[in-house]
Chain A
Amino acid sequence: MTQSTGERGAFDSQFDHASITTAAEERVSVATQWQLMWWRFRKHRLAMISGMVIAAFYLVALGADFLAYADPHKTEAFRSLIAPQPVHFFDEGRFRPYVFGLVGKRDPRTFKRVYEPDPEQKIALRLFAEGYEYKFLGLFKTNRHLIGVDGGAAEEAIFLLGTDQLGRDLWSRMMIACRLSLTIGLAGVTLSLVLGVLLGGISGLYGGAIDTLIQRVIEILRSIPTIPLWMGLAAAMPRDWGVVQVYFAITVILSLIGWTDLARVVRGRFLALREEDFVLAAELAGVSQMRIILRHMVPSFLSHIIAATTLALPNMIISETALSFLGLGLRPPAVSWGVLLQDAQNIQTVAISPWLLSAALPVIVVILAFNFLGDGLRDAADPYG
């Protein structure tokens, strides 16, 4: 128990003897909103793991070229549709990873090209081997890759996830695809964030005619069906724009519609906060409107916005994948998960070369991870509730 401390004895009859007793509680009593959120978030195991998974994915996006071993754009008809190839880690009892070389043959009945491992030919895998040249993080040129083979012709020897119809290495393309798929949504989400917070804030803060106007605009925007819009936009883009440029433009335009959700959240928070007693208290104390917004209102929904954004990102990723799959988003030669999945569009290819579907796996993992992370953040977002 907190005991009287001499000169404060006079107060003690009024004080809570039993309020704060331990150092741990003392720590909680001076903890800021963000600390409390972190402590709460930490208990959310799944969200913590998801957060790490997402961080790992973005690291992959950063070092995509380093993790790839084959030039993702290099086509070779002789290496079409090679199946994923097992890696042998131990050679005669010693740790020395190698793969077998492949021998291409024609199936005498179907006339299809088939590849068979040649047990005579052991190709040793090297770490930090030399391969195709690229710019690491866009800063300096290098040709080192995480794995490779001696002599630098990794695309001729390693097929961790097989190849596509044009003989491009799927593993390498998936690494490169991370970059586009994971980042293209960011711009759109950022833009809708800015628009949403701004317009939602104005709507909730001023109310009246402005509010009504913004709300009607939101309702109209939300009633526009997105797929036909995409199709129209995809057709209307200037022909001389590159594929990524076109896609980027479309995401930006979509985010001009996508801000509505966030705007509603922000408006709702503003309306609720305007009624809070502590806001009225600040008004009565003569605190300026600007300071009330910045000091009282924004901090109390910032965390909600972070959570909402985390939940909006997977939407962007999945719509990229879906639209590219339909041929409306990114198109080759751009490399994204959706583009990779385009190859798996017909059932025949899927039946014969199921490894073409492997790009679906990172999509699923990343979407799930984002959703779990978003849930965790949302639960932790209001540590006072």
Chain B
Amino acid sequence: MPIEAPLLEVRNLKRFFPIRRGLLRRVVGQLRAVDDISFHINRGETLSLVGESGCGKTTTARCILRALKPTAGEVLFQTAAGDVIDTAALPKGALQPFRHQMQMIFQDPFSSLNPRMTVFDIIAEPLLANGVKSRDQRRQRVEELLELVRLRPEFMQRFPHAFSGGQRQRIGIARALALNPSLIVADEPVSALDVSVQAQILNLMLDLQDELGLTYLFVAHDLSVVKHISDRVAVMYVGKIVEIAETDRLFKAPKHPYTEALLSAVPKPDPRLRSERIVLAGEVADPAQPPTGCYFHPRCAHAIDRCRSETPKLEEIQPGHVVACHRAREITLKGVDAQSNGKPSA
């Protein structure tokens, strides 16, 4: 357990979207996109938020950045001055002075850069907005940032359309770093890139974390990518966190049946490992009409009566390993092990 306070602590975060129907657009229900989740991120570490589409991971990220207003809950962020603020509660205006301490890296390297602005204008914009009035100063900082993300400073007069996806993603990272943020929220930053380029961006993010002491919240669906970048992993299913653990633990010894199924479903890049996979039956639950009890029970092989009626709470079953499963202590699940199944020699 950390001695110092975490950089970010999310407590009982909820975000519901009203479902409207009919001519009068009456609210007929609530889509529980994020349904009472809590976690923390320590300074300098990477926490990954994984899950399938619609599980609420992106909504969570946007609530933390206050791009979306949470329905309920606290988002406690430790500012550079050492104070703790609740970004969920502050009015937007009062949040402004702290905004630059949390920045975002986007999934789509094409829509995240304004095609009508030069690279210089894109990266310098946060500087301009935060009071760096001298153009020379801005130019110098942009040069620094471009070198930091391994791009040539001469590129700054070019427009985004002159760059490949991987290069654009570097530009997006440079922009996010412009204001020396402490927290970077990266929403699927490599999933739109070609596989041979993914590794470059992942390595860059690891390097930058070491160089600048950054803290990452890494939102992703790809468990292989997550394994490379994270210290800890939180797994989400239908708006809830089902398991949080250190990366190695979670992959080797998952305690939630959903985590196990997720790990097992990842296609392994080795034809000799075409093994028996756990193929989940059925479909992901509808967050507008979630099942009773544990949301995962209709697809779970280990479900008992209690799972159908009672919603499991997140419980710490080992130091740092929390699971929301009634049977977490009694069932043994299969993870993936780097020792027995090393990567194919190439």
- Are A and B direct contacts in the complex by CB distance below 8 Å? yes
Tell me the bound Cα distance from A276 to B125 in angstroms: 16
- The reply to whether B100 and A384 form a contact with Cβ atoms under 8 Å apart is no
- Is residue A283 within 8 Å, beta carbon to beta carbon, of the partner chain? yes
- The reply to whether B167 and A19 form a contact with Cβ atoms under 8 Å apart is yes
Tell me the bound Cα distance from A33 to B115 in angstroms: 8
- Nearest to B112 among chain A residues (CB) is A277
From the candidates B67, B99, B159, name the one contacting A286 in the complex (CB within 8 A).
B99
Query: Which residues of chain A from 1 to 55 have a CB within 8 Å of any chain B CB?
Result: 8, 11, 14-16, 19-20, 25, 28-33, 36
Tell me the bound Cα distance from A30 to B154 in angstroms: 11
- The reply to whether A30 and B116 form a contact with Cβ atoms under 8 Å apart is no
From the candidates A28, A287, A299, name the one contacting B162 in the complex (CB within 8 A).
A28
Tell me the bound Cα distance from A20 to B154 in angstroms: 12
- Nearest to B187 among chain A residues (CB) is A277
> 30 A-B contacts, Cβ less than 8 Å apart?
A11-B152, A15-B150, A15-B152, A19-B167, A29-B158, A29-B159, A30-B157, A30-B159, A30-B162, A32-B159, A33-B115, A277-B111, A278-B113, A280-B67, A280-B106, A281-B112, A284-B65, A284-B99, A284-B102, A284-B103, A284-B104, A285-B125, A285-B130, A285-B175, A286-B130, A287-B125, A287-B126, A295-B125, A300-B114, A300-B116
- Is residue A291 within 8 Å, beta carbon to beta carbon, of the partner chain? yes
From the candidates A25, A29, A278, name the one contacting B111 in the complex (CB within 8 A).
A278
Instruction: For A11, list chain B residues within 8 Å (CB).
Output: 147, 150, 152
- The reply to whether A286 and B100 form a contact with Cβ atoms under 8 Å apart is yes
Bitwise interface map of A from 237 to 281 toward B, beta carbon under 8 Å scored 1, else 0: 000000000000000000000000000000000000000111011
Beyond A32-B159, A285-B178, whether A14 also contacts B126 by CB under 8 A is no
Show the binding face of B for A, using Cβ within 8 Å.
Answer: 65, 67, 96, 99-100, 102-104, 106-108, 111-118, 122, 125-126, 128-130, 147, 150-152, 157-159, 161-164, 167, 172, 175-176, 178-179, 200
- Nearest to A14 among chain B residues (CB) is B150
Report A302 CB to chain B, min CB distance, Å: 10
Report B87 CB to chain A, min CB distance, Å: 12
Instruction: For A288, list chain B residues within 8 Å (CB).
Output: 129
Interface of B is mostly: loop
Beyond A286-B126, A300-B116, whether A277 also contacts B106 by CB under 8 A is yes
- The reply to whether B129 and A291 form a contact with Cβ atoms under 8 Å apart is yes
- The reply to whether B100 and A285 form a contact with Cβ atoms under 8 Å apart is yes
Instruction: For B178, list chain A residues within 8 Å (CB).
Output: 285
- Is residue A126 within 8 Å, beta carbon to beta carbon, of the partner chain? no
- Is residue A127 within 8 Å, beta carbon to beta carbon, of the partner chain? no
- Is residue A231 within 8 Å, beta carbon to beta carbon, of the partner chain? no
14 further A-B contacts with Cβ under 8 Å, apart from A277-B106, A283-B67, are A11-B147, A14-B150, A19-B167, A30-B158, A30-B159, A276-B111, A277-B107, A278-B122, A282-B125, A284-B102, A285-B99, A285-B103, A285-B129, A286-B130
- Is residue A296 within 8 Å, beta carbon to beta carbon, of the partner chain? yes
- The reply to whether A296 and B114 form a contact with Cβ atoms under 8 Å apart is yes
Tell me the bound Cα distance from A245 to B16 in angstroms: 57
From the candidates A16, A280, A286, A384, name the one contacting B161 in the complex (CB within 8 A).
A384
- The winner among B103, B151, B152 for most chain A CB atoms within 10 A is B152
In the A-B complex, list the 4 residue pairs whose CB atoms are closest, starting with the nearest.
A29-B162, A285-B126, A277-B112, A287-B129
Beyond A277-B108, A286-B99, A288-B129, whether A384 also contacts B115 by CB under 8 A is yes
Tell me the bound Cα distance from A323 to B125 in angstroms: 51
Tell me the bound Cα distance from A384 to B168 in angstroms: 14
Instruction: For B152, list chain A residues within 8 Å (CB).
Output: 8, 11, 15
Tell me the bound Cα distance from A16 to B125 in angstroms: 26
- The reply to whether A20 and B162 form a contact with Cβ atoms under 8 Å apart is yes
Instruction: For A28, list chain B residues within 8 Å (CB).
Output: 161-162
From the candidates A8, A29, A281, A299, name the one contacting B104 in the complex (CB within 8 A).
A281
Instruction: For A36, list chain B residues within 8 Å (CB).
Output: 161
- The reply to whether B114 and A278 form a contact with Cβ atoms under 8 Å apart is yes
Instruction: For A14, list chain B residues within 8 Å (CB).
Output: 150, 200
- Nearest to A385 among chain B residues (CB) is B115
- Nearest to B162 among chain A residues (CB) is A29
Report A17 CB to chain B, min CB distance, Å: 12
Instruction: For A299, list chain B residues within 8 Å (CB).
Output: 116
- Nearest to A18 among chain B residues (CB) is B164
